[in-house]
Amino acid sequence: MLIECIPNVSEGRRPEIVAAMAAAIRAIPGVRLLDHSSDPSHNRSVFTLVGDAAGVERAVLALFERAAADVDLRTHTGEHPRLGAVDVVPFVPIEDVTMADCVALAKKVGAAVAERFQIPVYLYEDASANPARKNLEHIRRGEFEGLAAKMATAGWAPDFGPAAPHPSAGATVIGARMPLIAYNINLATNRLDVAKKIAAAIRHSSGGYRFVKAMGIALDDRGIVQVSMNLTNYEKTPIFRVFETVKREAERYGVAVLESEIVGLVPSAALNAAAEFYLQLDRFTPGQILEHRLRQPE
């Protein structure tokens, strides 16, 4: 069973503090810290770790212990919005694990964080049963500085923990979501209006696909434009459908697709779905992929 967890911590300027957090995660057996990076202007660090449910839970609690000791939101400044010392903790299903498992884990970790550190916890995305509390930006609006007032208003009692912010660590948003895919399509034109029109056609907020965020931007150094996207659920809005729609919309303006690009990591299932679609594969199952088969128990 493999769960990915990407905790975001409100500390990106003191490397020794971030290193101690990374060491706390690495010390947990059965967990691998794949990556961590800090942004001083955001004053924020992002950790990427994987493991089974028990290991990831222990690693997140170890991270909270470090952050609660070393981060004080009362003196924290930075460009990125934040509500807490550990600001947001998403759990992501990767292999042999369901979204329901990740939701259960988010609730278990949320209850443990509230009990052990007296930090209020808000559940978000798939872990939240409340439609008004699924969106991270919405929960985080007002930030740490506005948190005490926000928590006192109707509808903003936390899912776990005290009814007021932790003095130094604020509150934490914990949840479960699908892996994000950062996906860009470059167009063989310098017409920014075309990229913007296509982005508007495909993104959810303006009537497009349910799990697409998109904008049109200019790549000035190359003299071309790009439809830059986040695909937030590759199972329900697959890459190939987005690609084909962008290609078709571009044709309407006499513009060709130059290339596309996956930024960072992509689950193999998202690529396999594209192969299945284009090759018109019939009755194909993941069990037919040699490497998948090798990892199954006998």
Active site residues: 80
Q: How far is the CB of 241 from a copy of itself (least distance, A)?
A: 11
Q: Which residue has the tokens 């907020």?
A: 205
Q: Is 284 in the site for a copy of itself (CB under 8 A)?
A: yes
Closest of 228, 224, 230, 238 to residue 272, by C-alpha: 238
Q: Which is nearer to a copy of itself, 118 or 190 (CB)?
A: 190
Element (H, E) at 113: helix 99-117
Q: Which is nearer to a copy of itself, 45 or 186 (CB)?
A: 186
Q: Is 274 in the site for a copy of itself (CB under 8 A)?
A: yes
Using CB under 8 A as the binding rule, the residues of this chain from 78 to 107 that contact a copy of itself are 94-95
Q: Is 154 in the site for a copy of itself (CB under 8 A)?
A: no
Q: Is 283 in the site for a copy of itself (CB under 8 A)?
A: yes
Using CB under 8 A as the binding rule, the residues of this chain from 222 to 261 that contact a copy of itself are 239-240, 243, 257-261
Say how many CA atoms lie within 13 Å of 165 toward its Cβ.
27
Q: How far is the CB of 23 from a copy of itself (least distance, A)?
A: 13
Q: Find all residues with CB under 8 Å of 278, minimum gap 6, and list them.
A: 240
Which of helix, strand or coil describes residue 201? helix
Q: How far is the CB of 233 from a copy of itself (least distance, A)?
A: 15
Q: Is 268 in the site for a copy of itself (CB under 8 A)?
A: yes
Q: Is 111 in the site for a copy of itself (CB under 8 A)?
A: no
Radius of gyration of the chain (CA): 21
Q: Which is nearer to a copy of itself, 93 or 161 (CB)?
A: 93
Rounded Cα gap, residues 156 and 132, in angstroms: 10
CB-based burial, 172-205: b 16+ in 10 Å, e otherwise:
bbbbbbbbbbebbbbbebebbebbbbbbbbbbee
Give residues in contact with a copy of itself (CB under 8 A).
Answer: 2, 4, 32-34, 50, 94-95, 179, 186, 239-240, 243, 257-262, 264-268, 271-272, 274-275, 277-284, 288-294, 298
